[in-house]
Structure 1
Amino acid sequence: MPLLQAQALSRSFGSTRALADFNFSIERGEIVALMGANGAGKSTFVKIISGVLPADSGSVTFKGQAFAPATPAEASAAGVVTVHQSTDLVGIPGLTVGDALLLNRFVDRKQPFFASRGRVRREAQAMLREAGFDLPVDRDFAELSAAERQLVAIARGLADKAELLILDEPTASLSATESRRLYAALLDLKKRGIAILYISHRTADLEALADRVAVLRGGRLVESFARPVNFDLAIETMIGRPLVSARPDARGGAGDPVFELSGARLLPGSHPFDLTLHRGEVVAITGVLGVGKSRLLSAIFGNVAVAEGEMRLAGRAYAPSSPREAVDAGVAMAGEDRHRSSLMPAGWPGESIVATISLPHLHRWYPTGFIQPRREREKAETAIRRLGIRPSGPNTSVWTLSGGNQQKVVLARWEAEPCKLLLLDEPFQGVDVGARHDIITAIRSRNDRATLIATSDPEEALEVADRVLTMDHHTIVQSSRHGDSLVSRHDDGSLTGRHDSRENSSREHA
């Protein structure tokens, strides 16, 4: 008997049918990957079995009994635990990592209200050891990176004694080393008889873990692939068309220099490097977590200062003291975590597509303070057509969109006005193959700017960029152009050349 079985499950949102007679099952000790384009019904199914949404029709059984949890807490108590991609609710500023790990226990009153700091520390460390993660339990949660917050969420989920663990894009913010550590923890859970429903767009995750890949399209289960999985065929099944590389051939040459960074040290004591970006060029920076990719983009955008070095934009000295100065100078940026850096909270003014796109441009579009709704709407509609965003209209809340469409809206914000330099930090995080194709096409179709992308995934870097730079210890250590035979993938997921050129590559090639 399957641990969990769904039969003829359906759910609609107005005229949109998210699930249509969906059938699915998972056994104890089985890892099943759920693949599907954004909007295929994955999230709806997960919300039904985790107690967030009721189904319109159909049935679910868990351990042979009817299963229709009314709340996530009820689902968790039954043994179905979900770890979501967004970690906003995992912890808050002022809580330590240990507090965040034990938060559920305090809420459920399974932990004494006046537990000593030493007890919290010991129990949190035990949870981290079980998950295989190394995090400082006394650090403030607000100081954690996106990847570290994800590790806290996963460790907490593993500690809830789940019989079915649901993971939604768990490696989206993780380095290759952290991903392998997670794989080991999940495979150990599998040996202990725990079933794992794994949602990911990364084939590396699925190759490492999945016993079976279930493919959704249009709210239905259209195919199931047993290990070893033909991922090209699985992706074609998912998107409903032959798989064609999203990345066009590299362009013959770049235009004039747009951005120049000379003698840069991101941190005191780090090795200096130079960087030049040209008009019409797409450059990707890769490397393991914490090597300085995001810090470099933040320095260019005026969020932090470089420890040393000079910047020039379009031939002129450039030293923004704030993001607004950067935007006014012609530099745009989409941050790593769109939920925290680019989208207004649900229920707030400004959560619509049109307001999200126009927000950073308001002071220039409407210097008198009088907003022109028609102009805003026209800009949004143009971006919707250009990027293939699929909402019901420009006034749709961004929070009703799939992850891929949300990311398209974030990119559309900077397509609404020309810029000299576009900075994108992990732009494909939580984005399916079809949406990634649309985003890459939009990025590479512009020849009037330079684009700099930070990504922890070397495959993404090679797919989108004309030139790939590798960072290590806050400096550029390698540069390769698209099509070079020198690029190789290391065990830690980083890209370097087959010939060690650390001494001169940053100045000769960057």
Structure 2
Amino acid sequence: MPLLTIENLTHSFGASRALAGAGLAIERGEIVALMGANGAGKSTLVKILSGVIAADSGTINLSGRAFKPRNPSDASRAGIVTVHQSTDLIGAPRLTVADALMLNRFADRSTRFFVSRRGVRRDAQAMLNAANISLPLDRDFGDLSAADRQLVAIARALAHRAELLILDEPTASLSLQESRQLFDVLLRLRGEGLAILYISHRTADIEAIADRAVVMRGGCVVGAFARPIDFSAAIETMIGRKLDVAQANARQATGPIVLGLRDARLLPTSEPFNLTLRQGEVVAITGVLGAGKSRLLSAIFGVGRLSDGEMFLDSKPHLPRSPADAIAAGIAMAAEDRHSSSLMPPAWPGNSLAATISLPHLARWYPRGLLLGGREEYEAEQAIRRLGIKATGPLASVWTLSGGNQQKAVIARWEAEPSRLLLLDEPFQGVDVGARRDIIEAIRSRTDRAMLIATSDPEEAYEVADRILVMDRHTLRPASGSAAANTVIQGIST
């Protein structure tokens, strides 16, 4: 009999259905990797198992008994413990490792009122011994590495006599060596009969420790893959189409090189990488939050700097000291948060569609400071027609537009003047399907420049790009064609 059996689990948030009949079984002594894109239902499933929310319908059985946790404490007492990606709540600076290990007991009302330091150390050491984990009890929790904090969380989980351990992106902030240390602990625990549900975007993690991978899409489990895991098939199951079909519109760029990076490092400790973009080429970079995508675009646009390496624009050294330098060199950028970086506040003058488009071009369009000739309104009218912006006219406030039409206005800003390189950071964030299609069509219609797009959604990357790269731990790795299956999952955040 499986340790955990889930059948026909459903849950909705208002009109949005997060789980639509999910089913899953996990055996004792098994590591199951859970894969899926944003919105697939992974987080909702974990919240139900953890007692954070209740299922609308369906059944969960744990060790042959009905399992309906009302809160995380219920789940923990039943034997299901979740270790989240962020370990900040496990302890705090100025607490010792022993204190962090014992926090749950301190909060337990059944615990005796007076506790001794010797007793705390004794019980904390027993928790570490039971998990076969070695950590200094008197060390400040705030000084621990991310990997050691994960080990503290696991030791606490096992102290609850966990039968199922759920790990949510445990290696997101770990180095390779720290990840291997964690894997050693997990593999040993699996050998002792513990079941582990491992949520990860990293194929290297899944390949290293998972007995099988389960894929979610649209609130359902749509595929399962035993070792050796066929990641090409897993990714195709996850996105619901063939990888080669997703890239049917890819073009082979033959134009001159616009941007070149040689031995570039985003951080002093990150691996160097090279990058080349040609005129007419659309390149997408996908990767998880914090992987370095925005940092790279910011360095190219003069907001930040490379830690090391060389950068060239049209074969000339490119070292922008500010965005003004980058714009003067022919580089345009739409940043991730359009509300704070690209749109004037609602109460300020200049929040119209026309003014939004003209903002970075005022000095060129009106060199004497006189707003004459109607250039702003003309460009706004062109943008409304070209991009299908739904607005009452050029003078409509951008704050009356939908998110997709606001993003079109930001794109239109950089369509109004020639440029050599367009940088787009999460251009489809908060954009509906129709607006996304219009933006993609506008992006791919231009062949007079190169375009570099950062997106955390690999489906968006496949839809818009000629070539895809994955950024992992501040370095770039190729992910084109069917070979993308081994790396593109790194671009999927939970």
User: Paired residue for 2:398?
Assistant: 375
1:135 & 1:420 partners in 2: Cα distance?
54
SS of 1:362's partner is: coil
SS of 2:32's partner is: strand
Cα distance, 1:29 vs. partner? 0.8
Within 5 A, what are the aligned runs for 1:121-160? 126=128, 130=132, 137-138=139-140, 140=142, 149=146, 152-153=149-150, 155-160=152-157
User: Paired residue for 2:101?
Assistant: 102
User: Paired residue for 1:220?
Assistant: 220
For the Cα contact (< 8 Å) 1:6–1:59, is it kept in 2? yes
2:304 & 2:98 partners in 1: Cα distance?
29
2:474 & 2:304 partners in 1: Cα distance?
24
SS of 2:190's partner is: helix
Provide, for residues 141-182 of structure 1, a one-character-per-residue CA deviation record: whole Å limited to 9, x for no partner. Answer: 6xx8xxx54662454134321210112233344444433333
User: Paired residue for 2:61?
Assistant: 61
Cα distance, 1:438 vs. partner? 1.4
Provide, for residues 87-119 of structure 1, a one-character-per-residue CA deviation record: whole Å limited to 9, x for no partner. Answer: 564566x45684895374365357987859x95
User: Paired residue for 2:412?
Assistant: none
For the Cα contact (< 8 Å) 1:187–1:209, is it kept in 2? yes
AA in 2 matched with 1:409: Q
User: Paired residue for 1:456?
Assistant: 473
Rg: which structure is higher?
2
SS of 1:102's partner is: helix
Structure 1 pair 299–138 and aligned structure 2 pair: CA distance change class (3 A): farther
Cα distance, 1:188 vs. partner? 0.7
Cα distance, 1:277 vs. partner? 6.8
1:9 and 2:9 matched: yes
Cα distance, 1:420 vs. partner? 9.1
User: Paired residue for 1:29?
Assistant: 29
Q: Pick from 411, 416, 429 the counterpart of residue 409 of structure 1.
A: 429
Provide, for residues 353-389 of structure 1, a one-character-per-residue CA deviation record: whole Å limited to 9, x for no partner. Answer: xxx5322113499863768895246462248899xxx
1:261 & 1:17 partners in 2: Cα distance?
46
For the Cα contact (< 8 Å) 2:21–2:220, is it kept in 1? yes
Structure 1 pair 229–360 and aligned structure 2 pair: CA distance change class (3 A): same
User: Paired residue for 2:460?
Assistant: 438
2:264 & 2:174 partners in 1: Cα distance?
30
Structure 1 pair 325–206 and aligned structure 2 pair: CA distance change class (3 A): same
Structure 1 pair 236–262 and aligned structure 2 pair: CA distance change class (3 A): closer
User: Paired residue for 2:338?
Assistant: 357
For the Cα contact (< 8 Å) 1:83–1:167, is it kept in 2? yes
Q: Which runs of 5 or more residues in structure 1 are unaligned?
A: 335-341, 343-355, 387-405, 429-434, 446-450, 466-481, 484-488, 494-510
Structure 1 pair 28–281 and aligned structure 2 pair: CA distance change class (3 A): same
1:47 and 2:47 matched: yes
The number of aligned residues is 402
User: Paired residue for 1:83?
Assistant: 83
SS of 2:54's partner is: coil
2:309 & 2:222 partners in 1: Cα distance?
55
> Scaled by the length of structure 2, what TM-score is found?
0.59
SS of 1:198's partner is: strand
1:239 and 2:239 matched: yes
2:233 & 2:264 partners in 1: Cα distance?
47
For the Cα contact (< 8 Å) 1:35–1:213, is it kept in 2? yes
Cα distance, 1:461 vs. partner? 1.8
What is the percent sequence identity of the aligned residues? Answer: 41
For the Cα contact (< 8 Å) 2:351–2:397, is it kept in 1? no
Within 5 A, what are the aligned runs for 1:257-296? 257=258
User: Paired residue for 1:186?
Assistant: 186
AA in 1 matched with 2:473: S
Cα distance, 1:193 vs. partner? 0.7
Q: Which runs of 5 or more residues in structure 2 are unaligned?
A: 354-395, 410-425, 433-438, 444-448
Structure 1, 14-23 or 49-58: larger mean CA deviation: 14-23
Within 5 A, what are the aligned runs for 1:341-352? none
For the Cα contact (< 8 Å) 1:236–1:242, is it kept in 2? yes
Cα distance, 1:26 vs. partner? 1.5
2:115 & 2:255 partners in 1: Cα distance?
62
Provide, for residues 225-273 of structure 1, a one-character-per-residue CA deviation record: whole Å limited to 9, x for no partner. Answer: 44344443343333333343756767434546557899999769x9999
1:204 and 2:220 matched: no
Within 5 A, what are the aligned runs for 1:416-495? 428=456, 435-442=457-464, 444=466, 454-456=471-473, 461-463=477-479
Structure 1 pair 252–316 and aligned structure 2 pair: CA distance change class (3 A): closer
1:139 & 1:281 partners in 2: Cα distance?
48
SS of 2:404's partner is: helix
AA in 1 matched with 2:153: R
Cα distance, 1:198 vs. partner? 1.8
> Scaled by the length of structure 1, what TM-score is found?
0.58
Cα distance, 1:69 vs. partner? 1.4
For the Cα contact (< 8 Å) 1:284–1:461, is it kept in 2? no
Structure 1 pair 384–80 and aligned structure 2 pair: CA distance change class (3 A): farther
Structure 1 pair 411–214 and aligned structure 2 pair: CA distance change class (3 A): same
AA in 2 matched with 1:252: A
2:165 & 2:178 partners in 1: Cα distance?
19
For the Cα contact (< 8 Å) 2:260–2:274, is it kept in 1? no
2:255 & 2:243 partners in 1: Cα distance?
29
